Amino acid sequence: MNGPKHKLCTKLSSTYLRKWWITIVIAVILLIAGVLVACEFSVLINAIVDRMIVLRPGTKTFGWWAKPPVEPRISLYVYNVTNADDFLSNGSKAIVDEVGPYVYSETWEKVNIVENDNGTLSYNLRKIYKFREDLSAGPEDDVVIVPNIPMLSATSQSKHAARFLRLAMASIMDILKIKPFVQVSVGQLLWGYEDPLLKLAKDVVPKEQKLPYEEFGLLYGKNGTSSDRVTVYTGSDDIKHYGVIDKFNGRTHLPHWTTNDCNRLDGTDGSIFPPHITKERMLEVYDKDLCRLLPLVYEREVDTPNDVPAYRFTPPEWVFADVDSHPDNMCYCPAGKPSCSPNGLFNVSLCQYDSPIMLSFPHFYLADDSLRTQVEGISPPTKEKHQFYFDVQPKTGTTLRVSARIQINLAVSQVFDIKQVANFPDIIFPILWFEEGIDALPNEVTDMMRFAEHIPPKIRIVLIVALCTLGLVLLLLATFCLIRNSHRQSTLHLEGSNYLATAQVDMNKKQNKDNAPTTRY
């Protein structure tokens, strides 16, 4: 009599239980998804960033890389010698007056771009300089007195030559009326002027030994398209090599130094670095005029003008240290320890046709103070004005702000047999210093970086909270309903058992009554 009803109740109960068990499964899935988002969401975002920044022709990133939407500037400060005659005739300490800045805006563009099969791009760099008199201390026609670099380079190189060669050189310089100091305009010092020694060398030096220029200027031949062919990785095969130089003029290593490690070229040009930069990572920049890779180490977090967080990277203090302070720099002494540079200087003569050019930071920042005090008129260096730094967005590896500050010095050797320089002492003579870089990127670029930096973490938090909250609510609700249903089933089972027992008793009583004998009267 109760069989069909019992089956129906069992079926309904089974459907009810199945529904809440499915709810529990969904809740667990949501909780697991929340945990996965917490642990792996940044990996997904990094993969998206990696795909966005790869240098693929036709993409925005490629366009920004090929023709940066910025206006870099270079500001130059010349050390004008104010007592050249006294210095040479009386042995007085040289007095210099720092004049400047002379400011040039720059336009950068990578041209002749070729996509290679091995995930690299090859190009030539075009740099166009335009003088900004409105930002400068004076016109390019300002006249300065500076050391005669071609002459002093030639005399210093002749120091260990045969004596008759030095005497012959002195006679030639006497005939050509060449003096140790020249009076030139700022524009001539930078972009070139006719030098009698170079003109003579053009006529008498064998073709294979001739210098590749006919005039002398510190930036001679740099206003235009460079002949240097650069090959860099696009990041398509390995994002860790993004922007890294593969070859420079067909070379994978420099030919100058004593070890392969010091001859490496596998840095970037400084505009981009492989992404996901940590504070422990060392960045490396290669520039032909530096004659080496320049290492950069993390200094601190900084805020940029467009509210994009950045890491500041600067050269370590040991980068131009002497070998006694930093033995690893021994590889930059090709002729052994006697050829090593003093502390705070780097000898780039091997990249400058053997001219004794020494690089340092401005005002001999991080160098021995004795170098600064060899001449009068150079104020003590300060970190704020003379530090070299890159501000890099760590997630994308893009340089947001840079100030590349370098000083050019001439290492002069005294040569007694050449009367024109007989009184010119051994000295590191400062010529000029410059700072080149950018103050900020355009809004179009920084907006994307700000989005990549700020929005994904917020999305991650929202997803974690939403998934975990929903999963937890469903789990608690399902558990509560299952417990309540289990209690109800127990109650119904007990009530059903009591009902059956009562019914059985009533039935037994009725059967006993029916079976009892009837009494007749």
CA–CA dist 286, 268 (Å, integer): 6
- The whole-number mean pLDDT for each consecutive block of 10 residues of the chain, a chain of 521 residues, reads 47 57 77 73 73 89 92 96 92 93 96 94 96 96 95 83 78 86 96 86 61 82 94 94 95 92 94 94 94 95 85 96 92 81 92 88 96 95 96 92 96 86 90 94 76 71 78 76 64 51 59 56 40
Angle at the Cα of 225 from the Cα atoms of 79 and 205, rounded to 5 degrees: 70
Count Cβ neighbours within 10 Å for each residue of 467-492 and write b for 16 or more, e otherwise.
bbebbeebbeebeebbeeeeeeeeee
Domain boundaries, the chain: 23-54+448-475, 70-313+386-441
- CB of 80 within 8 A of CB of 184? no
DSSP class of 374: T
What is the pLDDT at residue 211? 65
Q: What is the pTM of this model?
A: 0.82
Nearest partner of 110 among 261, 275, 225, judged by Cα: 225
Q: Distance (Å, rounded) from C-alpha 424 to C-alpha 172? A: 18
pLDDT at residue 409, as a whole number: 97
**Residue 112 φ/ψ region, left for φ over 0, alpha for ψ in the -120 to 50 degree band, beta for the rest:** left
**Which pLDDT belongs to residue 3?**
53
Tokens describing residue 391: 């501000």
What is the model's pLDDT at position 222?
A: 93
On whether the CB atoms of residues 364 and 381 are closer than 8 A, the answer is: yes
Residue type, 107: T
User: Largest alpha-carbon pair distance within the chain?
Assistant: 175
Give exposure, 429-441, as e/b (b: 16+ Cβ within 10 Å).
bbbbbbbbbbeeb
HEC string for 269-302: CCCECCCCCCCCCCEEEEEHHHCEEEEEEEEEEE
Contact 180, 148 (CB under 8 A): yes
CA torsion sign for 58, 232, 389, 396 is positive
